[in-house]
Amino acid sequence: MTSPASSSRIDGSAGPGPATTGPSTDTGVVRPTPLQRIARVTRLQLNVPSSSLLTPGIILALVFAVSVIVSLTIQRATGGAPSDPEFIAGLRNNSGAAWSLPGFLIYLGVASVSTTFPFTLALGSTRRSFTLGTLAFHLLMAVYVALLGGALLLLELATNHWFIGVYVFDTLLFGSGSLWQLLVTVFLGTLASLSIGGAFGAIWVRFGNKGPTIVAIALALVVALALLLSVPAWAWIGAHFALWWLAALAGVIIVIACLAQYLALRRASVR
């Protein structure tokens, strides 16, 4: 006859097997470590690659198609040449690639919390592990989108702007061809969008349908008041503005959003 310790596997199922090591209960079932819990949440978030991996590429492909049509239309209407510096300066104002992704990323951030939180806790995850695992998922997505944008920029430069003078990623907002600036901009923008979405998803789980609406109205009022009070400093800001300010602002937004997500989920009920 076997003892209870020898008849329990690492996953908690009964049956003969070798003894295991690690944190365990009195019955011999090995409990996952905090890092394992976080990794499980991250793997669960990655279970639908069609939305997390394919959709950003599809969106950028649509932006590319629209940019080609618009660029060729402008060239035909104005007679501008892709070699004209003034014409190129106008084309570099194209910000379609930058503004096409935040909407989807915020939605993905909301879904990564609102639809996954109850299921994950039902599987035994803690609220802290869920928050950290979701943050790890958001970091992976930010790296992926940044690398995708960097690869497309390099391809755009290698083909002399897609052979027809189309500027999609070599734009002012992305650093006018600077790979480093594009990677940092896309990474921080993606992570900020996902974090904001995750915070609103957590607020919805905690407070219901009215929670995100009330928070959005309060944030809009705070931003409007901040802009009003900062009007006298606009001239000084314009004269001393540096790009790292935007990076710092994105970092602050990410930290606040992650804290808001965790605090909202601490007392949220599992629906």
pLDDT digits (tens, 9 = 90+) for 69-78: 988 888 888 8
What is the distance between the alpha carbons of residues 213 and 210, in angstroms, rounded to a whole number? 5
- For 16, other C-beta atoms within 10 Å of its C-beta total 9
Provide the pLDDT for residue 85: 79
d(CA 138, CA 47): 14
SS3 169: coil
Residues 17 and 107 grouped into a single domain = no
What's the Cα-to-Cα distance from 144 to each of 54, 188, 207, rounded to whole Å? 11, 12, 32
* CA 119, 120, 124, 127 torsion-angle sign: negative
pLDDT level of residue 3 (50, 70, 90 thresholds) = very low
Geometric angle at alpha carbon 43, from 202 and 39, rounded to 5°: 85
The reply to whether 41 and 145 lie within a common domain is yes
Residue 21, domain extent = 1-31
Q: What is the mean pLDDT of the chain?
A: 86
Across the range 187-211, mean pLDDT stands at 95
| Residue 131 resides in a domain | yes
For residue 188, tell me if it sits in a domain.
yes
The DSSP output letter for 100 is S
Q: Is 23 exposed, middle or buried (0-12, 13-18, 19+ CB in 10 A)?
A: exposed
Rg for the chain, CA atoms, rounded: 24
Residue 195, φ and ψ in degrees, nearest 5? -65, -40
121 with 254, same domain? yes
pLDDT digits (tens, 9 = 90+) for 104-138: 999 999 999 998 998 888 888 889 999 999 999 99
Query: Domain check: are 26 and 109 in the same one?
Result: no
Please tell me the predicted confidence (pLDDT) of residue 77.
84
Instruction: State how many domains the chain has.
Output: 2
Give residue 104's identity as a one-letter amino acid code: F
Residue 23 sits in the same domain as residue 52: no
Is residue 172 assigned to a domain? Answer: yes
Distance of CA 171 to the CA centre of its chain: 21
Partner residues linked to 8 by β-bridges: 14
Does any domain span residue 119? yes
Asked if 7 and 68 sit in the same domain, the reply is no
CA angle 140-196-154, nearest 5°?
45
Alpha helix ranges (H) inside the chain: 34-45, 49, 55-78, 85-91, 96-99, 102-114, 117-122, 127-158, 179-207, 210-229, 234-240, 243-266
Residue 25 contacts by C-beta under 8 Å, 6 or more apart in sequence?
31
- How does pLDDT run across 217-237, given as a tens digit for each residue? 999 999 999 999 999 999 998
- 150 and 26 fall within a common domain: no
Same domain as 90, residue 22 = no
Clarify whether residues 191 and 171 are in a common domain. yes
Collapsing DSSP to helix, strand or coil, 268 comes out as coil
pLDDT at 13: 41
Both 164 and 72 in one domain: the answer is: yes
The reply to whether 236 falls in a domain is: no
Is 237 part of a structural domain of the chain?
no
Q: What is the pTM of this model?
A: 0.85
Residue 257 CB neighbour total at 10 angstroms: 24
69 in the same domain as 15: no
Torsion angle of alpha carbons 206, 218, 236, 234, nearest 10°? 140
